[in-house]
Amino acid sequence: MFNFIDHFNTLLRGLEEEGRYRHFKTLERPVGSFPKALIHHKDGWQQTVTVWCSNDYLGMGHHPKVIKALKSAADAHGAGAGGTRNIAGTTKEMVDLENLMAVHHGKEAALVFTSGYTANEGALGVLGKMLPDAIIFSDALNHASMISGMRIGGCERKIFPHNDIDALKKLLQAQPANRPKIVALESVYSMEGDISPLREVVKVAKEYGALVYLDEVHAVGLYGPHGAGVAEQEGLMADVDIIEGTFGKAYGVVGGYVAGAAPVIDAIRSFSSSFIFTTALPPHVLAAAAASVMHLRTSSVERETQRRMVNRLKAAFSKTDMPFLKGDSHIVPLVVGDAHCVRAVTDTLLEHYGIYVQPINYPTVPKGTERLRLTATARHTEQDVDNLVAALQELWSTHAISATRAA
């Protein structure tokens, strides 16, 4: 008989040997202390650390308005949603949030999912499946959730090199004018730290009659005068057909959504399995998300503070020989280039400096490009930034990380 346990143990040992096995730390985020957190070690020791890999970019997960909205809705409506949207989960808070997100992105309608991942799966799956003989043109570095959605859709897919407008144009030119075409891309690529040339993408897509699908999960809340993302910052929201976003990053809560033309959003609502068969988000989560979005529509303080910390971090790195990727976004990837070495770096940062950052390994990034993904937030201080850079400089010089990478 087949030994299932031995088989999975072999797979896990392989990850360990490659340095890719994921070790999770148990974190506690006391309200008001972010980016400080407590790590609960297995021996019972609690360690205070500074978190440098959080997606809560603006600290909205601890904002008093967000917490108040969450508590009030929980007190009023309880803990759960009661079922899927089709059964019992379409609450007033859900409808209010969808209306808000439609206005936020200048679209006719919006649809809330339980996560950004399921939003991409659901929307791209429907587009690929329901458009006759559709073809999707996908940036080579698109997120796994987008790739999963395209596979669910089952239509033809062409991959163009990352941010390569000329390659995209050639692929579009090769298709019949009347064939349904979709260009799928992200605005901010979180593992590279760069921003897509959205204006050029939109121009070439419209020239060849393609629908533009834009993942803004790492941009909403952060870019644009109201925090509606890179499309708003560039004045392109009307030209992007479908915008996908999340409440789980800069908005500090959880959940995902898509916004676009009413018939398109209604079709996604009607045909997406990841929407139809998933229990709805509960009212208190929806209320918290709405409070965060509404606050950031009018407040730029958090965005400005975060940008100052990002600029300080990049400026400090620029004075060193450490190989960080010089993208235009708020994300600063620092390439180590070896799975075992990047694990050693993060372990040392935690043990000796009280700095918590998780290593990024294959398959999230290609082998040989393993990295730290550093995120300065609105709650980090100048001293936090200086401490991080000093610790990394010391590691680079005393542990010969560059030599390790070369080997």
Q: Which residues are catalytic?
A: 249
Please give the Cα distance from 86 to 280 (Å, whole number).
9
Q: From 56, 327, 362, 323, select the one nearest 192 (Cα to Cα).
A: 327
Yes or no: say if 248 and 90 are a contact pair by the CB < 8 Å rule: no
Cα dihedral 162/165/166/167 (nearest 10): 40
C-alpha distance across the termini of the chain, in Å? 43
CA separation, residue 60 to residues 221, 295, 351 (Å): 10, 9, 28
Other CB atoms within 10 Å distance of the CB of residue 312 = 18
SS3 assignment, position 333: strand
- Segments in 154-282 forming alpha helices (H): 165-173, 198-207, 230-233, 262-271, 273-276
* Cα 366 → chain centroid: 18
Q: From 14, 6, 21, select the one nearest 358 (Cα to Cα).
A: 21
Q: Is the peptide bond before 283 cis (omega within 30 degrees of 0)?
A: no
Yes or no: say if 349 and 355 are a contact pair by the CB < 8 Å rule: yes
Yes or no: say if 237 and 203 are a contact pair by the CB < 8 Å rule: no
* Cα 388 → chain centroid: 23
**Beta strands per DSSP E along 63-201:** 109-113, 135-139, 156-160, 181-186, 188-189, 194-195
